[in-house]
Structure 1
Amino acid sequence: MKYESNSPEEYLSQVPQERREVLEKLRQTIQDNLPIGFEETIEYGMICYVVPHRIYPSGYHVDPKVPLPFLSIASQKNFIALYHMGLYSIPEVLTWFQEEYPKHVTTKLDMGKSCVRFKNMNNIPYDLIAELCRKITPEDYIRTYEMQLKKIQK
């Protein structure tokens, strides 16, 4: 579901209560563990953590007015979603996450390229997500992002 909002608080106020509690806990986990430099905002109709223009003035290549997106959380129709660009762009992080996930949750990992879908909101591995958040600094992500851009531009 897409929620029209200008702030994370406004976004959360629109989400059904049972999902709001889960998203608030997920948001707090992310805020407590993301390295300094990422900023919370609303982008693409989701709560998003970005590399702000003050750190990466070029912004997102698709729309340079938008800060570089890194991680997002959202309440979708049938699941809570965690979008993490490190899972998409850094193979070692993806492999680590796929190997660690079954150690934290008994349900099968449901994921796309950067999206982890949590259909059962009682099976969100907050401790694993906290560790995932700590793995990549804004500087690490900028380096990875720029390497990926060079590949695209060739």
Structure 2
Amino acid sequence: MTSDAKNANDYLNSLPEDRKLYIEKFRNSIQKNLPKGFEEGMSYGMLSYHVPHSIYPNGYHCKPTDPLPFIALASQKNSINFYHMGIYANKELYDWFVSEFPKHSNRKLDMGKSCMRFKNFDAIPYDLIGELVSKISVEEWITTYESAFLKNKK
């Protein structure tokens, strides 16, 4: 389920009431912990947090007119999905998160490469998500991104 919303407030206002509270709480956890320099916006029909062109003019290698993505949050049909590109690109961060998750949730971690799916909204580990969000600065993300995703482009 992608959204046609042009900004975060429109996105939130378009959500069904039973989802809005959880997405707002998730968003607050991200915003409270997001390092300076990342910006909130909409991308691919989801709330996104990215490195703006003013900091990283090259943009996203798949679509350079888009800013460099870092995190996305979406209300899907059966879950709330949280995408964190740092986990996909940094095995140490991935390993840390996977080992910490059981300490913060009694649910099994449902995760793909960068996507975490939360089907039980009351079991979302907001504090852990906040800690994860805080672990990579803009500068670290750019370095990680370039080494992980652009190594074959050079």
- The answer for the alignment partner of 2:37 in structure 1 is 37
Where does structure 1 lack aligned partners over 5 or more consecutive residues?
Answer: none
- The answer for the alignment partner of 2:130 in structure 1 is 130
- The answer for the alignment partner of 1:111 in structure 2 is 111
- The answer for the alignment partner of 2:57 in structure 1 is 57
Is 1:145–2:145 an aligned residue pair?
A: yes
Where in structure 2 are the equivalents of 1:39-118 lying within 5 Å?
Answer: 39-118=39-118
Q: Give 3-state SS (helix, strand or coil) of 2:3's partner.
A: coil
CA RMSD, 1 decimal? 0.9
- Give the Å deviation of 1:122: 0.4
**Could you state the TM-score of these two structures normalised by the residue count of structure 2?**
0.98
Give the length in aligned residue pairs.
Answer: 154
Instruction: Look up the equivalent residue of 2:47 and give its one-letter code.
Output: I
Instruction: Look up the equivalent residue of 1:143 and give its one-letter code.
Output: T
Q: Deviations over 1:19-59 (max 9, x none)?
A: 11000010011000010000000000000000000100000
Instruction: Look up the equivalent residue of 2:107 and give its one-letter code.
Output: T
Where does structure 2 lack aligned partners over 5 or more consecutive residues?
Answer: none
Quote the sequence identity (%).
53
Find the aligned partners of 2:80 and 2:36 in 1 and give their Cα distance.
25
- The answer for the alignment partner of 1:27 in structure 2 is 27
Q: Give 3-state SS (helix, strand or coil) of 1:71's partner.
A: strand
Is 1:16–2:13 an aligned residue pair?
A: no
- Give the Å deviation of 1:2: 1.3
Find the aligned partners of 2:4 and 2:123 in 1 and give their Cα distance.
27
Distance 1:101 1:29, change over 3 A: same
Find the aligned partners of 2:83 and 2:74 in 1 and give their Cα distance.
8
